[in-house]
Structure 1
Amino acid sequence: MNKLPNAELVMIPGGTLITKTPEEGRQLAMLIARHTIHNIQNDLDELKQGRSVYSVNPDSLTAASQVVALEYQTIAAANNYWRDQ
């Protein structure tokens, strides 16, 4: 098995949901979504094989976008919607 390094299997990169800006929050949401996928499928070869199928499937892309949106919603709440800016 071509396994991902343990550093890629961290669920919350950096150990916090707190970000300085909404843009950083969005980037963190995407990173968390990727880490979630890596934890579900940590075999790089299997992960790459499936990419050719889901990367062109509108339903798969919509589902991935929904996961990122949910992660972003959580991060935004953790940051009090960046009211202190």
Structure 2
Amino acid sequence: MVTSIRVSNELRDRLRAQAAREGLTLGAYLARLADAEDRRERLQSLKATIAATSSVEIATHSAESAEWESAELADQ
């Protein structure tokens, strides 16, 4: 399905020029911009979650990770 969005002529021209420099259609370029924004939001959320993590939780995670990393895998 295709749709139209209303933007100023100046913005449309900027986006078209940016897309052309990347060798993309305007639709593909807008999809890439949307994907980049989704990624930025996910990373911002992750950063906030890490910042809210207590030092006890970080220490527990580090200890558990170290234990898993030092474990030897064997077929039984």
TM-score strictly above 0.5: no
Larger Rg, first or second structure (1 or 2)? 2
TM category (shorter chain) comes to 0.3 to 0.5
Structure of higher RCO (CA pairs closer than 8 Å, 6+ residues apart): 1
TM-score, length-scaled by structure 2 = 0.33
